[in-house]
Homo-oligomer: A and B are copies of this chain.
Amino acid sequence: MSTTTYAGNRERIVGIAAELFARNSYHGTGIAELSKAAGLGRGALYHYIGSKETLLYEISKTQVDRMNAHAEALLGSGLETEDLLRGMAKGLLCNIAEHRSEWAVFFREYTALTGENRDRVVAARERYEGYWRQALDRGVADGVLRPVPRLLVKGILGMLNYTYLWFEPDGEVGTDELADAFLDALLDGIRTA
């Protein structure tokens, strides 16, 4: 079953690349370093990857696509506003926690993509932002949320995305608790009544 071996190797290499890119940056990681980490010669490596940029593209696109699928599922499930927002936050934090290297690479390095690769990743990113906007708009329409400036969507995503830098899911605060803490503050504020 050479196909399976090929795909498996490919996936393994993408994972290794994510770790190296996260640690040493995309431009700061050489093909030599990558091939050594993968235990392959340079020729063998190129047999799998095609180009260095392809790796960066796949690392980024995979995660964003996953989040888009997750958001679409939640938006289509008829959840009430609060559960919808908490669900979306938990999905994102959970994915970031499980794929920290990939998200670090995506956030820091997507600008290194060129042409269509970049366009597609940016478009996917904007689609995801649109889903959050939809969720908030729905809450406003239902009367659960007060009318809220559009820019707040960026603030919320900043709050969540930034976790890739510091969140330790095995620490004393878990992924779900963190998402709930963020949403408690966002929904009801931190001022005393």
Interface residues of A (CB under 8 A from B): 23, 25-28, 107-109, 111-112, 136, 143-146, 148-149, 151-152, 154-163, 166-167, 173, 178, 181-182, 185-192
Contacts and interface: CB of A to CB of B under 8 A. Distances in A.
A178 B158 CA distance: 14
B189 A173 contact: no
How many copies make up the complex?
2
A145 B25 contact: no
Contacts of A185: 148, 152, 155, 186, 189
A173 B162 CA distance: 23
Contacts of A25: 25-27, 109, 111-112
Contacts of A190: 136, 145-146, 148, 152, 186-187
Q: Is the interface of A mostly helix, strand, loop or mixed?
A: helix
Given A151-B181, A191-B145, A160 B163 contact: no
Of the listed residues A25, A28, A159, A178, the one surrounded by the most CB atoms of chain B closer than 10 A to its CB is A159
A35 B136 CA distance: 48
Given A25-B27, A28-B27, A187 B191 contact: yes
Nearest to A173: B151
Contacts of A143: 192
Contacts of A173: 149, 151
28 contacts: A25-B26, A25-B27, A25-B109, A25-B111, A28-B112, A107-B108, A108-B108, A146-B191, A148-B185, A149-B181, A151-B178, A152-B182, A152-B185, A154-B162, A154-B163, A155-B159, A155-B162, A157-B162, A158-B158, A158-B159, A158-B160, A159-B159, A161-B162, A162-B162, A186-B186, A186-B189, A187-B189, A187-B191
